[in-house]
A and B are shown apart, each in its own frame.
Chain A
Amino acid sequence: MYNTIILRIKGKNVNKFIERINHKKINIYYIEYIKYNEVKIEVSYKDYDTILRLKTIYEVSIDGYKGIKKINNNINSNKYLLISLLFGIILFTILINTIFDIEVVYSGNKLREYIYKELEKNGIKKYHLVKSFDEIEDIKKGILEDNKDILEWIEIERVGTKYIVKIEPRKINIIEEDNKIYNIVSNRSAIIKSIEANSGEVVKKINNYVNKGDIIISSNISLNDEVKKQVSAKGSVYGEVWYKVNIVYPLNYYEEKETGNESIYYNISIFNKDINLSKYKDYKKEDEIIIKNDILPIYISKQKQREIEKIDYKLDKESGINKAMEEGRKKINNNLNDKEYIIDEKCLKISYKDSKIVLDIFYTVYKDITEYIEIEG
């Protein structure tokens, strides 16, 4: 009954033909008399050939199908459309997951080019597939760790098929003892919070707002508006600076945590299926092969198993926000030294995208803003 065919039979005495079919022990599931000499019958598809052999003077034509044969028929007659549709879907999926542009937001050419190369090294390049959230986090961590001396901060944000990379270079203020004269300027916009001057004249006050490049400790020592002497400014300045961070945090949380338990078992592996007496529900394994079959994927090994605990749950909105805020704090703190700290944080915007929570967080940070600029001449 699952694969039936509907036949239209025309002839002088259709009842005789039906009897003939019946004599051959062919089941007729449905008979419909259209005219005195025309009838529609439904029989199993496998009996169609037998009926064709019996037809003699009768006209037998196919009126339709039922069951899997019908589906096959529909697929066959629409195969070009279906193939085009499938191809279109695959192409669309590939295209929306392909990187078409990468932009590093930074004015300096040298560092920008360097970052492009680092991104390429980590697989982020044009006309390649986009990376997952975890991969991006690993790449950011890796780039920061490898370039601690030149990079303070890196953020990789995906906007459609484009990656926007924001960087904050690290300013190294190691000044060798030389005969050059330096001013101490602010390395970014900030509100001055503390000034420690070892030499030079302090020209700004606490709580003054300074822009990038403003002189804070000057090399000119003045008296009554007259420059009396020039010395190289030395000291440090801390200010209140601001960061706006975009955090994307997955609401579906999955983690594998090792419990510390481990055991060794003898294991038989047959077509990648392990057979052993392990007492652990989930574990990571390391195999030391004892005997192996060269033709089939079968081997006996001594397996070291480390028990793991799988943590897999969906965060609710509040927990998701808390985790994302924690992540943001961690990011900022990674780039702060012992004397620097977060003064305040404020969540500006919360949105949800593809079971991820997206937060825009504004941080106020107490940070070293000292930069030495050499005085020409």
Chain B
Amino acid sequence: MKIVRDMREYLFKDELEINVYLDKVDIVNYKELGEIDNNKITIYYDNGKITINGSNLTISKLLNNEVLIIGKINNVELGG
């Protein structure tokens, strides 16, 4: 049924999602952590990597499928 399908898609999202806020970046459905540095954090996903550049970067929350990075965000790069 369409309703059931829509509900499953809403509840069990598996697509990569990047939410950029002021001083925070939230990434959902990542694959693994890469480099972690005060000025640069690399996160890998299925088809590439995300590089967050800034200063005073730290990981605030690290779940199996979600990571929250806080600090002064300069830019977020998506790469293959």
B20 proximal to A (CB < 8 A):
no
Question: Which residue from B32, B36, B61 sits with its C-beta under 8 Å from A28?
Answer: B61
Partner of B58, one of A25, A29, A33: A33
Asked if B62 and A28 make an inter-chain contact with CB atoms under 8 angstroms apart, the answer reads yes
Of the candidate stretches A15-23, A52-60, A98-106, A333-341, the one touching chain B is A15-23
Distance in Å: Cβ of A28 to nearest Cβ of chain B: 4
Interface of A is mostly: mixed
A31 & B58 in contact (Cβ 8 Å cutoff) = yes
Q: Collect the chain A residues with CB atoms within 8 Å of residue B74's CB.
A: none
| A19 B61 Cβ-Cβ under 8 A | no
Chain A contact patch, size range: 10 to 19
Contact yes or no, A31 B62, CB < 8 A = yes
CA of A23 to CA of B64 in the docked complex: distance in angstroms?
9
Residues of B within 8 A of A211 (CB): none
B61/A30 in contact, CB under 8 A? yes
How far apart are B36's CB and chain A's nearest CB, in angstroms?
4
> Nearest Cβ distance between residue B57 and chain A, in whole angstroms?
10
Contact with B along A6-42 (1 / 0, CB 8 A): 0000000001001101110101111111000000000
Whether B59 and A18, one on each chain, are in contact in the complex, defined by CB atoms closer than 8 angstroms, is yes
Q: Using a CB-CB cutoff of 8 Å, which residues 1-58 of chain B contact chain A? A: 32-33, 36, 58
Q: Which residues of A contact B58 (CB under 8 A)?
A: 31, 33
Residues of B within 8 A of A22 (CB): 32-33, 62
The reply to whether A27 and B62 form a contact with Cβ atoms under 8 Å apart is yes
Closest beta carbon of chain A to B45's beta carbon, Å: 14
Flag if B61 contacts A31 (CB, 8 Å): yes
A29 to B36, CA, bound (A): 18
10 pairs of A and B residues whose beta carbons are closest in the complex: A28-B62, A15-B36, A27-B63, A33-B58, A25-B64, A19-B33, A31-B59, A22-B33, A22-B62, A31-B60
Given contacts A15-B36, A31-B61, A33-B58, 20 further A-B contacts (CB under 8 A): A18-B36, A18-B59, A19-B33, A19-B36, A22-B32, A22-B33, A22-B62, A23-B32, A27-B62, A27-B63, A27-B64, A28-B61, A28-B62, A28-B63, A30-B60, A30-B61, A31-B58, A31-B59, A31-B60, A32-B60
List, sorted by A's number, 11 A–B pairs whose CB atoms are closer than 8 Å: A19-B33, A22-B33, A22-B62, A23-B32, A27-B62, A27-B64, A28-B59, A28-B62, A28-B63, A31-B58, A32-B60
